[in-house]
Structure 1
Amino acid sequence: MQLIGVDTGGTFTDAVAVTGNGRVVASKALSTPAQVETGVLAAIELLAAELELSPQELLAGTDVFAHGTTVGLNAVLTGTGATVGVLTTAGFESTLAIAKANKVHGLTDEDLRRPTSWDKPPLLVPRRRVLGVRGRIDRSGQVVEPLDEAGVRAALRSLAASGVDAVAVALLWSPVNPTHEQRVAAIAAEELPGCHVSLSSELAPRIGEYERTCSVVLDAYVAPLVSSYLGRLHAALADRKFGGTLLVTRMGGGVQSVDAARRSPVQTLRSGPAGGLAATAKVGAALGHPNVVATDVGGTSFDVGLVLAGEPGYAARPMIDRFALAMPVVDITSIGTGGGSLAWVDPVLGALRVGPQSAGADPGPACYGRGGTQPTLTDAAAVAGYVERLGGTLELDVAAAAAAIDRMIARPLGLSVDAAAEGILDVACEQMKDLVRRTTVERGHDPGDFALLAYGGAGPQYAGRYAEDLGVREILVPAFAAQFSAFGAIASDIRAAAEHDLAPASLHESLDAVNAAAARLAASVRAQLELGQAPLPPGRQVTVRRRIGLRFYRQVHRVDIVLPERAIGPDDVAALTDRFRQRYEQVVGPGSGKADTPIEVVAVSAEALLPMPLPAGDPRRAGTAAPRRHRAALFDGHRQECPVYAWDDLGADQCVPGPAFVESESTTVVVHPGHSARIGTDGHLRLTIRARS
């Protein structure tokens, strides 16, 4: 089976191909934000050239094309989504405008210290396009007032007159009984044919009126753009002889069919980072590390996620920008510190800053030679001698990088260019280290208990600079680190998921309701996935995992626990609650799962999976390679001549002591003094970190 994975980022579009005979090749092309599919096709052309094929020949032989995209996320961040109308239960038209009465979501630490300046999240839909309709369902799912179908038609006609491109429907208690929302959708198909309609009961069937409404509005907001883009991409691939299955990565983990992604495009909002975390879990397990900190340095951001006991973590309070979500989202935290992040001097404090503004792909850093004049983190790395080229083809202009740093950083601060470059690296790496510490320590975890996996085009350049202070003993740099999120797209399991909220009650009281919901949801997700008919190696079958959502009495957030494949009874309650407490302490911290605190069940969910094997290339042979050349690089304030090894030359288990560099076509691993690098037979590189004194 031949696979292609593609991930589009703010600066680069990455692609990985795994051929039928196990050969793995990768490519990196500049992203094209104005026409995203152009960058995708450029990356495919580079893959084809590497395999000495035409793009048509490559695509004709491809069975699965898996894709992570930022089209929807960019629309949210830039405010360029669709014109949306909202239908909600009469009397609740101000849900979005009120937001949360007791707190304001998504505030920065600085804003939290200035409560008089708090602002609520911006409204994606103006109040005039939020219309209420009569009809009520209560918390038990009983219809207490029939749906006013004439009122629904009148509201839809009003929205049509205002020029909406999509409609979001969020009626009260629809997670318990979706019949009113389903009827609204049927009427909308008559009144607004061809208009995208998002239902909260299908998309986010969770109790939490504000979060559920935000979720369905976000879905409708990005739907026309994402659907149009995926349609254009699918057509462009078909024109180039692709006849396989197109899959899209989900921010809740795994991949789904392109048709499912077009029906619920909100799942694509953080699809690229989710692919990277899925691959982290699989690579970590293969290398004997169940606990891994995933770190991704791209062109515009630094992303951190955790894998605990072999499973990616999920956000307790998932958000996109400042918009709350009511659906599972892989927990990834980001800051604006990437290779293209601008270095600048704070005009008030006179302090050196890095990010969050970025040079982007066009014009990019000064060292790209494309007209950029402001210094970036990549410019500092080039001046320090850490990197000479990007993507295998882009030779960096070190003189231009040095001139930009000299003009805008060194002279204003009275520093040499070398000292300014190291200052930029130090500031950026402190920001990265701080985010890793917050992601682990603030959640009750010791970073020293984790391996740190560094990927993204620039991740392996910086990990060794900050990992030692965190107490991390080993850094993993995966093969094709620069294209790891694209690699994750083809390593992700194909998934379909559904869930149902229950009225909070003890597990003993809810056994019948849990068993009935679990059986119904399991049958539903199995049917969804089997309809996809994705090609798989012989012997691979759909598996279904059923879970219950448990929480301590009166808490807000739940923890999901896997159920046995059979119906559960009274004898299972103790074991399930013990597993809940264990998992709770893994997530929150040791000692937090008090044995005397009551536990209640609040949800049942089911997930169907078609497992995808972790792609692997040819095993690496033993041997000892010599460095291809040497270059001077800055370490500890002075330049040293350092050996430069080619990644592909190194034999299995060959040790490379620092200071040194290991280069592939698309990334550079910086081996700092006192550290050492070793590549295993699987092609993944391990950096051993010296113990802290």
Structure 2
Amino acid sequence: MLGVDVGGTFTDVVAVRDGRIQVTKVPSDPAHPVAPVVAGAQRLGVEDSSVFNHASTMGLNAVITRQLPKIAFLTTEGHRDILDRGRAWRPTKGQTDPAWRRSFGDVTRPLVPRYLRRGLRERALADGTVLVPLDEEQVRAQLAVLARCHVEGVAVCLLNAYTAPSHEQRVRELIHEVLGDIPVSLSSETSALAKEYARASTTVIDVFMKLIFTKYAHELYTELRAAGFRGDLNFADCAATLLPWREALDKPHRIVFAGPAAGTFSSVRLGAAIGEENLLCADVGGTSTDISLVVDGEPFVDTTFELEHDLVINALSTEISSVGAGGGSLVSISSSGDVLVGPGSAGAVPGPACYGRGGELPTVTDACLLMGVIDPAGIAGGELRLDEKRARRAFESLRTPLSLEERVRYAYRIAVANIAEEMANVAIRHGVDPRDFTLVAYGAAGGMLLPAALELLRAKRVVIPPNPGLFSAIGLLSSDLVHYDSRSAYTLLVPEAAEYVDAVFDEIEQQLRERVAESRAGITVKRTFDGRLTGQHWETPFVEVPEGPITTQTVASMIAAFHDAYEKRYGNRFPTMPVEGVTFRVQITVGSEKFEHTELASAPGTTVVPDRTTELRYFADTALPAAEYSRDRLPVGARLRGPAVIREPLSTVFVCPGQMAEIGRFGEISIELEEK
């Protein structure tokens, strides 16, 4: 099995053969993204692999940086500014700022400029009745304008099209007739759900992803075949479940980003192995830290997510909160003289100053190098040697009266504090106490920064898994193939609704089963619905539906399940209030081969001797001697007192003073505060 996680800085590749893990890390190449993926796969041997599971943040990065193709947006006449208006929600920081503007608005960085957003003369009502027929001549006139603008794709979102898709389907025929064979996404097929804005934004992103991923996926498949790969190529979606690559291209908004979700899924698998069900997960990469929460062995999954504030995507996704603090986060000085870390990043190019690739601004990686935490002999398995002199010059270039020692120390501590603060925020939002949770630190910089956050959060412990820099890629080898779809159908849940609800579920399930090969074994079907109390405008998601045909008894069970879910989520129960079903969802899971954590042989009584003693600078007022170990030489049960540095080819673990580290039975490093 092969898994690859394409990040902005590095492409992580992991292979599992006979229970043994092989890993490699290749610098990402935004200009030629397929090349590092294939190079990493060939390095580990792709010929005998049965599956190749792929996750990427390429789509997300394209949206954030606005390096996007030129597309058009067609909607009902009078509604073309829906993309500029959004939901009219402001973030907290924008509540009192009259100058605040949403990042994708017309006065900032629109996804589709206003001249490419065109209104079509037509109108359907919410019940599917056609009020105004489609004016095909007017549609042709608008398409003629788009032809002169040389658009590469078109998103179509007509009002109430989720109940009356015929107008959108005819518009697609006209688009191909006038503009040729260009990618087109219809909201009635991409996201057949109510709420026009979310459906519109999802459809727009879907067209972008078709243009970004279609060529990439075909090129990747071709080059893997040329390299001897004969297995199945799967893409991971935003909930870290897998889709065959051709099916993923049908609705590519689902794969806009997947790496962070794969890390959460990998944490769940590790937690189950070590007996920890309550986890705070942190993927500390080069640009940011992605934080997720696992309670009772289950991550939080949302029905929608945001790429930017108010830029909504209708797709199942693991709830991820990001903060701009990672190994490549830039260190700067504010106008008031404060040391700042992030949210800007040095990225893959030019990278931190110590990489010697032209970067001149200091980063967290430069700080860790000067502190002695990172080995100057190099990272990424020694492929990249680090230059301490360049790192020092970068910090010396900051315009501040602080000494070099203070600049480096504060940069490290502020990076740690930024991550700890966001982890505390995630816990508080969900009403849990970090002291009851175990921190899982992964990503190349996770073991370097998260142990220092232990004292700030007072969590039970920090666990650093084996191969932390490729932990998300390992999660791709622990997931199942999942096919799901959903429909909006506002229905009051009463006995008389049983036949209609059964028909909705049956239609969705039959369409999904057509995608699943008959030879597949281990298929499970799960039905859920999003409901609300009559009069509410928000839904309680993922209310489970019993198996079998929908009968009057089933409807009663659905109502009871809704009240249970509502009480668990909000703390209140209103059993006398009528319940309305809003969205009905079917999920078919196909079991697949998975990576399993293997217990290592213990070696009781083994004396652990450090490889050498290094010096930690700037961490405290004076330099501290620290024992240095190679992770692959540490036996199960070994206990190490901080300060200590544990090195491995693709990552570094820093055990702070006052902490004790122990090697677990699966090779994980568990770090706890020493009792005083």
Instruction: Give the TM-score normalised by the residue count of structure 1.
Output: 0.90
Matched, 1:620 2:600: yes
1:392 lines up with 2:376 in the alignment = no
Amino acid in the other structure paired with 2:248: A
CA displacement, residues 547-603 of structure 1 (integer Å, 9 cap, x when unaligned): 111234413243112222213444455654554455456555xx3556666543211
SS in 2 for 1:550: strand
- Deviation at 1:421? 1.6
Query: Residue 395 of structure 2: which of 405, 411, 414 is its match?
Result: 405
What's the % identity of the aligned pairs?
31
Write the letter of the residue equivalent to 1:40: V
Residue of structure 2 equivalent to 1:7? 5
CA deviation string 1:143-202 (max 9, x = no partner): 444444454444444423321111111111122333332333344344444210111122
Give me the whole-angstrom Cα distance separating, in 1, the residues matched to 2:253 and 2:196.
17
- 1:112 and 2:104 matched: no
Alignment of 1:477-488 (within 5 A): 477-488=464-475
- Spell out structure 1 runs of 4+ moving beyond 6 A: none
Match of 1:54 in 2: none
Equivalent residues in 2 for 1:460-609, closer than 5 Å = 460-506=447-493, 508=495, 510-530=497-517, 540-553=521-534, 554-572=536-554, 576-577=558-559, 579-584=561-566, 591-592=571-572, 599-609=579-589
Matched ranges for 1:98-497 at <5 A: 98-100=85-87, 102-104=88-90, 107=91, 109-119=92-102, 121-122=104-105, 123-315=110-302, 318-322=305-309, 323-346=311-334, 348-388=335-375, 389-393=378-382, 394-408=384-398, 412-415=400-403, 417-497=404-484
Could you state the TM-score of these two structures normalised by the residue count of structure 2? 0.92
Corresponding position of 1:684: 668
Provide the secondary structure at the position in 2 that maps to 1:263: coil
Distance 1:602 1:335 in 2: 33
Shifted more, 421-430 versus 317-326: the winner is: 317-326
Aligned-residue offset at 1:432: 0.5
CA shift, 1:478, in A, is: 1.7
- Residues 221-243 of structure 1 show CA distances to partners (whole Å, capped at 9, x for unaligned) of 23212211222222221221222
Quick one: which of 633, 645, 654 aligns to 1:649?
A: 633
Q: How has the CA–CA distance of structure 1 residues 228 and 280 changed in structure 2, closer, same or farther, with 3 Å as cutoff?
A: same
Residue in structure 2 matching 1:39, options 36, 40, 53 = 36
Q: Report which stretch shifted further, 628-637 or 215-224.
A: 628-637
For residue 690 of structure 1, report the CA deviation from its aligned partner.
Answer: 4.6
Task: Please say if residues 384 and 418 of structure 1, whose CA atoms lie closer than 8 Å, have aligned partners that are also in contact.
Answer: no
SS in 2 for 1:66: strand
Structure 2: distance between partners of 1:448 and 1:196: 50
CA contact (8 A) 2:544 2:561 kept: no
Paired residue for 1:55? Answer: none
1:60 aligns to what SS in structure 2? coil
Number of aligned positions between the proteins: 663
Of the structure 1 ranges 390-399 and 336-345, higher mean CA displacement relative to structure 2 is found in: 390-399
Structure 1 position 420, deviation (Å): 2.3
Inter-CA distance 478–580: structure 2 relative to 1 (3 Å threshold): farther
The structural deviation recorded for 1:119 is 4.5
Choose from 658, 665, 669 the match for 1:674: 658
Between the aligned partners of 2:181 and 2:548, the Cα distance in structure 1 is 42
Conserved in 1, the CA contact under 8 Å of 2:8 and 2:58? no
Q: Identify the residue that residue 612 of structure 2 maps to in structure 1.
A: 629
The CA deviation at 1:617 is: 6.0
How far does residue 356 in structure 1 lie from its aligned partner after superposition? Answer: 1.2
Give yes or no for contact 2:42–2:227 (8 Å, CA) kept in 1: no
- 1:339 to 1:144, Cα distance in 2 relative to 1, 3 A: same
- When residues 115 and 385 of structure 1 are mapped into structure 2, their CA distance, relative to the original with a 3 A threshold, is same
Question: Root-mean-square deviation (CA), in Å?
Answer: 2.5
Q: 1:127 to 1:392 in 2, by over 3 A?
A: same
Say which is worse superposed, 3-12 or 268-277, in terms of deviation: 268-277
Write the distance in 2 (CA, Å) between the matches of 1:567 and 1:194.
Answer: 42
Partner of 1:53: none
Contact 1:81 1:222 (8 Å CA) reproduced: no
Q: Distance in 1 between matches of 2:480 and 2:511?
A: 18
Q: Note the C-alpha offset of 1:376.
A: 0.6
Cα distance in 2 for residues equivalent to 1:376 and 1:489: 30
Residues 437-495 of structure 1: per-residue CA shift (max 9 Å, x gap): 11110232222232211110001111111133223102222222101221122222212
Secondary structure of the residue aligned to 1:544 is: strand
Letter of the structure 1 residue corresponding to residue 30 of structure 2: P
- For 1:174 and 1:564, locate their aligned partners in 2 and report how far apart those are by CA, in whole Å: 30
Instruction: Decide whether the 8 Å contact of 1:622 with 1:654 is kept in 2.
Output: no
Assess if the C-alpha contact under 8 Å between 2:128 and 2:164 holds in 1. Answer: yes
Gaps of 5+ in 2: none
Amino acid at match of 1:171: L
| 8 A Cα contact 1:559 1:580, kept in partner | no
CA distance in 1, matches of 2:438, 2:625: 29
